[in-house]
Amino acid sequence: MNEGKSVVVIDNPVLSNCSKVAGGIYNPIVFKRLTQSWLADMVLPCMIDFYEELEEKFQSQLLHPVKIARIFTNEEEEILWQKKSINELNEFIDGKIHKPKDEYSFCKDSYAFVKQGGYVDVTKFLELTRNFLEQRNGYVKESFDYSLLHFEGENIVYNNVSASKIIFCEGYLN
């Protein structure tokens, strides 16, 4: 995670709140087609390592593993789930089918659980990251002014910041 690079984030937090209200849910399964989410087998371990390292660094919980239930509407869905739990999706889905216990059960249909699902506390992550960057003079609270951006040789210069690379994360705003 720390590769000796310095980072400066230029952010006007009033402009967008998308990340603040994001659910942060991670689910390695696409329910509609009962397939693995794109690159879940590669991305999920990296994501977990990344956030666990941050949790240790910030002494704060960011990852929240939770059981995600897949409710079945018919017997064919159950059979397919069980088949895939033995073969290609065994890492991500539990083959045990749960039946409703009685009429007061939370669900009237059978269901099974996804393994390795959960959510990231995105709001806390953003707050901790912003505080970390502020302590290192790596956070500038302002709107980005494109007219101040220019090149000096191999470097990109913005105000008093000179960098070899720049990343724009502007979401839907532009």
Encode the chain (174 residues) as per-residue pLDDT tens digits.
567 788 999 988 777 777 777 789 999 999 988 999 999 999 999 999 999 999 999 999 999 999 999 999 999 999 999 999 998 999 999 999 998 876 666 677 899 999 999 999 999 999 999 999 999 999 999 989 999 999 999 999 998 899 999 998 877 765
Using CA atoms, how far apart are residues 86 and 115, in angstroms rounded to an integer? 13
Q: Three-class SS of residue 167? A: coil
The vertex-40 CA angle with 35 and 43, nearest 5°, equals 170
